[in-house]
């Protein structure tokens, strides 16, 4: 018998409706139209439960894990039966379509078909008999056509249409009859069936109630579906779907009941047909074929089943694979699911676990394959909201809120993104332990979100038809949020930090296995690059230079770049995403901390001053301000607790480190194509592919390291840090490769912060950096050169910036001095290096300025503290005067702490350097200035006005006068030699014998020197005094000096005149001192070096002759 055609099925259905309504087959009431409201009130969960209870207890199916995509086949044949054939099989000239379905069904391969009428010897094989096949069909679909029993739906009119061997036709007819019966009845007839209670029934006639298998199946194997969280609609479609899903489940039970018989044809073919027909008819139901057509924009009947994990194992993948060949049907079924998931996730947050189901469902859908294609991925990128057009200037925020993936990526714990988390977990004051537990829980949730999102995007990217659309989405997300890199950004116009960090994590996971040899270094300059660096500051090249170079590359017949491949695009998209996500987030986190600290300080100051303003007219305003500030502090504290969970996430920060390690490798490869950073120095000429890169490629790594070193240094205990350290060393030692000196200064700040004296948990990292072979051989001269170069940066506040940068350098030098290898290099550099004299000159300049400023601040603090001690005089001042002086005191205290910190380190550097190094300090251009600086500061500490430096709580400012006196006098002793004694004696402004006497007395009183050291200092004093007397005796008054013999800068008699390129004549010591500070002509600011100075021999002879003539006239 050939398969019934759709027309034949319709004819039979009409005949049944006309003639068999009264037949006692199912006990249902007269048929109702599909549009009637006669849906059972027991739809949804109850309909499924009752339908499953109607079968024999012996064949109730096992509850299977819902998340699995593949059906676990019993045998290779049954596995083969699960594969969907997308081609339409033909039987004669008649189409082999499912009855009235319009969807192609699976056919059993010809080579495994058996002759239907073949005789079988069941005693020696496992092939099912005709009776066993019919019994299995009856058990799967809960029907019988021979006997009427309460356990099965009786379909007597099928008996005459069923022929032996036509099992596919039987399955089709049974399904259509039951579905029509459910559809046309006011009450679901399947729900009226009773479960089998007697296990002794064993009918022998095919089509009668099938025998039970109670000894093999337990009662808990019934198909049970719970919809408590995601209720289904109460409608006929749900009743039909429940019945079809239960039938699909019962197919698996049949395979478990008789595994051998079910693994070979003909039973395996019948069960495979039953399974595929359940799927096909479910697809029809979902499209409204049995009721009314459903809108693709409406809610999906399938969604509650997916979210509740109530679909049988393998059902979803088979549904997708079956329907994807008919795009119209596929869209009608899956588009409502995708849009429903998007709408649902939009209302969820990480305050509960409800977000897990939509994410897992989306990931499961995306991973379903049909051949080499992932149909759901291909469908997703065709949706109008996959990448919606920007409608306003807030295009970044629109992408997060309106796109298909945006709400999934927008799951966030930041209080600014979603208030639900802060309201649930941090509404009230919490302990540190509780906060830590909450953070761990939220971080686990975020990691789950990011892992599932990675599955989704990875599936879309590996699927050929959707890859380009996925890259377009990522590129648009970065482009529309490009303003997030700005220091000040209007948060209303860009996506939230949570969205960007989730996107970053997904890209990091995608980039994890990308090898650098697969990355095209010229991609940033490619005309079709998905990133734009046109407006960015470059590492070395000027913007017009970079653009000119790129234009030249484009004109070449074969440009150096390659056609963009996924590894290259993914790498650079990830790199740019770091710039727009983790870096702005950490910057904002630190701003929040500063705001909390500043507000707390303001609250403390205003509360401390309350006795003074409580009786003033503005008292009520001050109280309101206090209340407002405290409220702001509480709000910021809660926001910080949420941000702690998002940013202080070890998994996230470790992934950043791993990626930045790859970026470091990339930077070294571009800057040094031959050695790739394994040796120094680099080539003198900076390669343009490196110089034209954005400077934030390096700056972002510095910012990230500074943040992690401060807040989570344990993250850096990772082998991949070695490549980052290598990059750090190379560019600190090659600062000519970086145009912006502040960027080099930031790299040096990273080295400073990893110092154990600053961060006590990074001693291993610090040692690893300083003991690197490249550090030992190149770091000392590079740092000394930068100490000099940072004198001028071109910035408006360069004068004050240099002190902070040099403070960082002084701490690094102090650590290096403790290491023998570096100490040796420093000594060698001092004796032979070309930068050391300039280095010492800058050191003296800084010491002079910082000590002057520190001591001046101490004097002002002493003055105001004395005034406040005198209560009578203080109370005579007005409130405004008192407040003004108190504000001045607070400012002086802050400045004093800062200046003394910097000055102390500078003096310390002088101290340990002069202990082992003397010669460079005694150079002609340095010795006199150094002696004058020491004498002046010794006078401040020991002179008649030293009492003005006495303040309350000196430790508060880091003021240790005894230690400073000890250090200064040690420097005198370290440099003790005839040349230095002469330099001290030549300082007529500050040196007095009484000054050294006073210093010796104070050292003895404070016991800061041994007797031997005191005697050494006295000996130096005697030497200096002798030279002073000799100078006085040898002093000659030359009277009026001719103008041509005078130095034009200092107006003194020239001893060694030299000619500048401009033609100006100056005294060599004076111009040399000037060049130590600035490599320019002092009169026209043109560049000038020592090599360009020419001796004025004729003028020198004239000066000598003039001096001799003056001596003869005396």
Instruction: Give pLDDT, residue 131.
Output: 83
Q: How far apart are CA 143 and CA 146, in angstroms?
A: 10
Token digits of residue 24: 């006692």
Contact in structure between 1003 and 1014 (CB atoms under 8 Å): yes
Mention every residue, 6+ apart, whose C-beta is less than 8 A from residue 545: 692
Report pLDDT digits (tens) over 1070-1079: 888 888 878 8
Is 460 in a helix, a strand, or coil? helix
Q: Output the pLDDT for position 635.
A: 94
Q: Please tell me the predicted confidence (pLDDT) of residue 43.
A: 37
Highest mean pLDDT: which of 251-255, 455-459, 939-943? 455-459
45 Ramachandran zone, left/alpha/beta (phi>0; psi -120 to 50): alpha
CATH code: domain 1043-1113 is 3.30.40.10
Query: Residue 40's pLDDT is what?
Result: 35
**Matching residue, tokens 């033609």:** 1063
Q: Is 371 within 8 Å of 340 (Cβ atoms)?
A: no
Extents of the domains making up the chain = 41-96+127-339, 343-588, 593-647, 835-1035, 1043-1113
> How far are the Cα atoms of 175, 253, 272 from residue 60, in angstroms, in the given order?
19, 7, 19
DSSP states along 89-124: PEETTEE-BPTTT-SB-----GGG---TT----TTT
What is the reported pLDDT for 207?
46
| Dihedral sign for Cα atoms in the order 543, 549, 555, 561 | negative
Question: Which pLDDT belongs to residue 307?
Answer: 94
Contacts of 656 (CB under 8 A, 6+ apart): 508, 578, 582, 704
DSSP state of 370: B
Please choose, from the candidates 148, 172, 154, 149, the residue with its C-alpha nearest in 3D space to the C-alpha of residue 162.
172
- Alpha-carbon separation of residue 536 from 486, 532, 945 (angstroms): 12, 9, 55
Helix-helix angle 924-942:978-985, to 10 degrees: 60
Torsion sign over Cα 409, 411, 415, 419:
positive
Distance from chain centroid for Cα 224: 43
1093 pLDDT above the threshold of 60: yes
Indicate the average pLDDT of the chain: 84
Kindly tell me the sign of the dihedral angle through the C-alpha atoms of 550, 555, 560, 566. positive
Question: Is residue 560 predicted with pLDDT exceeding 70?
Answer: yes
Closest CA to 938 of 998, 1004, 1008, 896: 998
In angstroms, rounded to a whole number, what is the distance separating the alpha carbons of residues 1047 and 1020? 33
| Mean pLDDT of all residues in 758-768 | 94
Residues present in the chain in total: 1114
Q: Which two tokens stand for residue 1082?
A: 């002092």
For residues 27 and 913, the model is more confident at 913
Which pLDDT score, from 0 to 100, does residue 948 have?
86
Helix, strand, coil in percent for the chain, rounding step 5: 60, 5, 35
pLDDT at res. 96: 34
- Over residues 466-483, the mean pLDDT reads 97
Q: What's the DSSP call for residue 294?
A: P
Whether residue 44 is predicted with pLDDT greater than 70 in this model: the reply is: no
Q: Which of 15-19, 124-128, 686-690 has the lowest mean pLDDT?
A: 15-19
Which residues, other chains included, contact 250 with Cβ-Cβ below 8 Å and sequence gap of 6+?
A: 55, 59, 61, 139, 140, 141, 223
Which positions ≥6 away from 890 have C-beta within 8 Å? none
Dmax (CA) of the chain: 153
Residues facing 513 on adjacent strands: none
Which pair of tokens denotes residue 1009? Answer: 């020197």
- Name the pLDDT band for 575 (thresholds 50, 70, 90): very high
Residue 988 has pLDDT above 90, yes or no: no
Spatial CB neighbours of 343, under 8 Å, sequence gap ≥ 6: none
Q: Please measure the distance between the N-terminal and C-terminal CA atoms of the chain and give it in whole angstroms.
A: 146
Q: State the alpha helices, DSSP H only, in 228-380.
A: 236-257, 259-262, 267-287, 303-307, 315-323, 327-346, 356-367, 375-380
The answer for residues whose C-beta is within 8 angstroms of residue 661's C-beta and 6 or more apart is 720, 721, 723, 724
Count CB neighbours of 728 within 10 A.
24
The tokens describing 509, both together, are: 């996971």
DSSP states of 138-161 as a string?
A: HHHHTEESSS--TTSEE-GGGTTT
Q: What average pLDDT does the segment 534-562 reach?
A: 92
- Indicate the pLDDT class of residue 1055, thresholds 50, 70 and 90: confident
How confident is residue 223, by pLDDT bands cut at 50, 70 and 90? low
Indicate if the pLDDT at residue 515 is higher than 80.
Answer: yes
Cα–Cα nearest to 771, from 738, 722, 811, 832? 722
Position 258 pLDDT exceeds 70: yes
Q: What is the dihedral of CA 1069, 1071, 1074, 1075, to 10 degrees?
A: -100
Q: How sure is the predictor about 196, in pLDDT bands with cuts at 50, 70 and 90?
A: low
The per-residue pLDDT for range 606-652, each reduced to its tens digit, is 998 888 788 888 889 999 999 999 999 999 999 999 999 999 999 99
Radius of gyration over every alpha carbon of the chain, rounded to an integer in angstroms: 44
Q: Report pLDDT for 154.
A: 84
Residue 843 pLDDT > 80: yes
* Residues near 420 by beta carbon (within 8 Å), at least 6 away in sequence: 349, 350, 351
**Residue 404 predicted with pLDDT over 60:** yes
Annotate 400-427 with b (16+ C-beta within 10 A) or e (fewer): bbbbbbbbbbbbbbbbebbeebbeebbe
Name the pLDDT band for 1035 (thresholds 50, 70, 90): low
- pTM greater than 0.85: no
Residue 480 has pLDDT above 60, yes or no: yes
Is pLDDT above 60 for 123?
Answer: no
What is the structure's pLDDT at 931?
94
Per-residue pLDDT at 122 exceeds 60: no
């Amino acid at each position: 018998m050939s398969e019934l055609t759709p027309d034949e099925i319709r004819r039979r259905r009409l005949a049944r409706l006309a003639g068999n309504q009264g037949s006692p087959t199912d006990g249902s009431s007269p048929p109702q139209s599909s549009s009637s409201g006669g849906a059972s009130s027991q739809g949804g969960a109850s309909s499924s439960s009752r339908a499953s209870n109607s079968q024999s207890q012996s064949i109730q199916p096992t509850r299977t894990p819902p998340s699995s995509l593949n059906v676990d086949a019993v045998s290779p044949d049954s596995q083969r039966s699960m594969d969907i054939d997308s081609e339409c099989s033909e039987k004669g000239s008649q189409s082999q379509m499912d009855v009235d379905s319009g969807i192609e069904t699976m056919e059993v391969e010809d080579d495994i078909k058996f002759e239907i009428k073949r005789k079988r010897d069941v005693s020696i094989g496992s092939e099912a008999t005709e009776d066993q096949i019919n019994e299995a069909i009856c058990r799967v679909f809960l029907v019988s056509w021979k006997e009427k029993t309460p356990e099965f739906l009786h379909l007597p009119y099928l008996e005459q249409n069923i022929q032996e061997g036509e099992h596919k036709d039987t399955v089709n007819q049974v399904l259509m009859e039951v579905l029509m019966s459910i559809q046309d009845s006011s009450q679901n007839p399947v729900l009226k069936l009773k479960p089998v209670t007697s296990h002794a029934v064993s009918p022998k006639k095919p089509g009668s109630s099938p025998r039970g298998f109670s000894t093999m199946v337990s009662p808990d194997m019934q198909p049970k579906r719970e919809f408590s969280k995601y209720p289904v609609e109460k409608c006929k479609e749900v009743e039909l779907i429940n019945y079809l899903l239960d039938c699909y489940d019962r197919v698996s039970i049949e395979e478990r009941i008789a595994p051998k018989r079910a693994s070979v044809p003909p039973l395996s073919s019948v069960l495979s047909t039953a399974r595929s027909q359940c799927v096909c008819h479910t697809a029809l139901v979902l499209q409204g074929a049995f009721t009314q057509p459903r809108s693709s924009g409406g809610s999906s009947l399938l969604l509650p089943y997916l979210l509740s994990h109530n679909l049988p194992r393998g059902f979803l993948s088979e549904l997708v694979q079956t329907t994807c060949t008919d795009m119209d049907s596929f869209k009608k079924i899956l588009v409502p699911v995708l849009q429903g998931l998007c709408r649902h996730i939009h209302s969820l947050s990480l305050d509960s676990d409800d977000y897990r189901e939509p994410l897992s469902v989306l990931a499961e859908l995306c991973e379903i394959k049909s051949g080499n294609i992932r149909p759901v991925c291909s469908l997703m990128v065709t949706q109008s909201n996959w990448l919606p057009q920007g409608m306003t200037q807030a295009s970044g925020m629109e992408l997060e809120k309106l796109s298909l993936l945006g709400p999934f990526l927008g799951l966030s714990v930041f209080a600014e993104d979603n208030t639900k988390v802060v309201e649930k977990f941090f509404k009230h004051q919490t302990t540190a332990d509780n906060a830590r537990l909450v953070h761990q829980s939220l971080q686990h949730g975020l990691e789950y979100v990011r892992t599932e999102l990675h599955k989704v995007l990875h599936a879309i990217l590996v699927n050929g038809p959707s890859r380009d659309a996925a890259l377009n989405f990522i590129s648009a997300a970065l482009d529309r949020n490009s303003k997030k890199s700005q220091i000040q950004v209007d948060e209303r116009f860009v996506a939230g930090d949570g969205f960007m960090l989730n996107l970053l994590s997904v890209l990091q996971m995608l980039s994890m296995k990308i090898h650098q040899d697969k990355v095209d270094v010229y991609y940033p300059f490619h005309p079709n690059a998905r990133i734009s660096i046109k407006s960015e500051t470059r590492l070395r090249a000027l913007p017009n230079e970079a653009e000119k170079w790129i234009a030249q590359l484009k004109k070449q017949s074969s440009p150096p770049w390659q056609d963009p491949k996924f590894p290259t695009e993914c790498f650079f998209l990830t790199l740019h995403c770091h710039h727009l996500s983790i870096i702005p987030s950490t910057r904002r986190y630190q701003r929040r901390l500063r705001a909390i600290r500043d507000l707390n300080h303001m609250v403390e100051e205003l509360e401390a001053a309350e006795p003074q303003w409580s009786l003033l007219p503005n008292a009520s305003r001050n109280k309101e301000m206090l209340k407002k500030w405290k409220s702001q502090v509480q709000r910021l504290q809660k926001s910080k607790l949420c941000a702690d969970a998002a940013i202080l996430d070890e998994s996230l920060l470790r992934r950043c480190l791993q990626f930045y390690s790859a970026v470091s490798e990339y930077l070294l490869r571009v800057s040094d194509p031959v050695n790739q950073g394994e040796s120094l120095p680099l080539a003198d000429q900076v390669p343009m592919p490196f110089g034209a890169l954005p400077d934030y490629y390096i700056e972002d790594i510095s910012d990230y390291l500074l943040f992690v070193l401060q807040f989570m240094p344990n993250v850096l205990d990772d082998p991949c840090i070695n490549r980052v350290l290598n990059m750090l060393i190379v560019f600190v030692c090659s600062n000519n490769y970086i145009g912006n000196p502040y960027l080099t200064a930031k790299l040096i700040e990273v080295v400073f912060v990893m110092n154990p004296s600053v961060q006590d948990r990074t001693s291993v990292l610090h040692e690893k950096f300083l003991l690197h072979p490249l550090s030992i051989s190149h770091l000392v001269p590079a740092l000394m050169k930068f100490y000099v170069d940072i004198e001028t940066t071109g910035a408006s506040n360069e004068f004050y910036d240099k002190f902070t940068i040099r403070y960082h350098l002084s701490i690094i030098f102090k650590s290096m001095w403790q290491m023998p290898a570096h100490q040796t290099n420093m000594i060698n550099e001092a004796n032979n290096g070309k930068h050391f004299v300039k280095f010492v000159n800058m050191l003296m300049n800084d010491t002079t300025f910082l000590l002057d400023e520190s001591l001046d601040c101490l004097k002002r603090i002493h003055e105001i503290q004395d005034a406040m001690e005198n209560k009578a005089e203080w109370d005579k001042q007005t409130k405004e005067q008192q407040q003004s002086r108190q504000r001045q005191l607070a400012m002086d205290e802050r400045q004093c702490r800062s200046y003394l910190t910097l000055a102390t380190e500078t003096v310390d550097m002088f101290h340990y350097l002069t202990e082992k190094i003397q010669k460079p300090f005694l150079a002609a251009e340095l010795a006199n200035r150094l002696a004058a600086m020491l004498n002046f500061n010794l006078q401040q500490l020991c002179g008649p006005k030293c009492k003005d430096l006495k303040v309350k709580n000196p430790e508060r400012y880091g003021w240790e006068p005894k230690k400073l006196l000890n250090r200064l006098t040690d420097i005198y002793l370290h440099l003790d030699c005839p040349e230095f004694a002469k330099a001290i004696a030549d300082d007529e402004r500050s040196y007095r014998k009484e000054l050294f006497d006073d210093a010796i007395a104070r050292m003895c009183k404070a016991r800061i020197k041994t007797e031997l050291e005191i005697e050494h200092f006295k000996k130096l004093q005697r030497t200096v005094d002798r030279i002073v007397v000799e100078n006085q005796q040898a002093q000659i008054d030359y009277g009026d000096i001719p103008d041509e013999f005078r130095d034009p800068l200092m107006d003194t008699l020239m001893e060694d005149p030299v000619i500048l390129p401009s033609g100006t004549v100056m005294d060599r010591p004076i111009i040399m001192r000037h060049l130590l500070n600035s490599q320019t002509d002092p009169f026209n600011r043109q560049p000038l070096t020592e090599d360009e100075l020419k001796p004025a021999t004729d003028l020198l002879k004239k000066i000598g002759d003039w001096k001799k003539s003056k001596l003869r006239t005396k």
